[in-house]
Amino acid sequence: MLTASLNKYDSCEEAVVIVAGGTGTRMGGNLPKQFLEIEGKPILFYTIDAFLAAIEKPQIIVALHSDFHDWWDENSSNFPAYKDVAISHGGATRSESVQKALFQLGRAVKKVAIHDAVRPLISSSLVQACFKSLDDHAAIVPVVPINDSLRKVEDDSNKVVDRSSLFAVQTPQCFTRDQLELAYRKAAGKSYSDDASLIEEQLGISIYLIEGDPANLKITRPADLLMTEFLFWKQKQEQLQNEKKEREE
């Protein structure tokens, strides 16, 4: 299966491209990290759920390596909410994966978010803030301050770096559709580490930064997975406590 019926998205104005094309297994085991499970559920599915909860009527496209399309068919069939999620072929690079996904955008889409599949803790408030900011800006990136001290290494020497003006970049990175598609056409296949860099270089558009969320972790190492599992557990405990209070009132 490559895609859901695209005509279902003709009335969607907001779209999300979830980049899940990686095939690396640095976390151990035989599966890429976006398919690893937390409490019996793949990380990718938590990420999809976050956007379904945050946006009333989104078009969601998952850029997935062709080797894992069968995995998607087998595992997503138990989740009725995913029946309208479109699947596109992941490319050799992140940029190629995103560009291929853009070809599947519905006619009415005006705003596009690009998000890492391995950031499953993205909050509804951050998603909504990113899309809302597109009313006034063409390119939105959430960032968080860097808390660690930094040193720059040059040859055999090193020196301290002033971290006060440095921020760590998160996703979702959000763009107006027209500008994002134009930037990819102008890039002519050139690869970028993220889409903000593409927009900035190809179109000269300033990137508008908004406050990110420290809990919006990117799972790249085993320690990140452990922290994510803990934060999900914490969220669940808080939800149970809130439900108990509501019953007692």
Token pair of 132 as six digits: 């809302």
> How many domains does the chain divide into?
1
For strands 173-176 and 139-145, give the pairing: antiparallel
The mean of the pLDDT values for the chain is 92
Burial label, 209 (beta-carbon count in 10 A; 0-12, 13-18, 19+): middle
159 found inside a domain: no
147 found inside a domain: no
Taking Cα atoms as reference points, which of 178, 54, 61 lies closest to residue 115? Answer: 61
154 found inside a domain: no
Alpha-carbon distance 197 to 193, whole Å? Answer: 7
79 found inside a domain: yes
Output the pLDDT for position 239.
87
Output the pLDDT for position 1.
41
CATH number for the domain spanning 81: value is: 3.90.550.10
* Structure confidence at residue 3 as a pLDDT band (50, 70, 90): very low
Average pLDDT on 137-152 reads: 96
Output the pLDDT for position 39.
92
Computed on alpha carbons and rounded to an integer, the radius of gyration of the chain in Å comes to 19
Average pLDDT on 140-160 reads: 94
Alpha-carbon distance 140 to 4, whole Å? Answer: 28
Distances in whole angstroms, Cα of residue 183 to Cα of each of 90, 187, 200, 201: 19, 6, 9, 9
Alpha-carbon distance 205 to 208, whole Å? Answer: 9
Domain containing residue 77: 6-141+170-221
Output the pLDDT for position 246.
82
1 found inside a domain: no
Output the pLDDT for position 114.
98
102 found inside a domain: yes
235 found inside a domain: no
pTM metric for this prediction: 0.91
236 found inside a domain: no
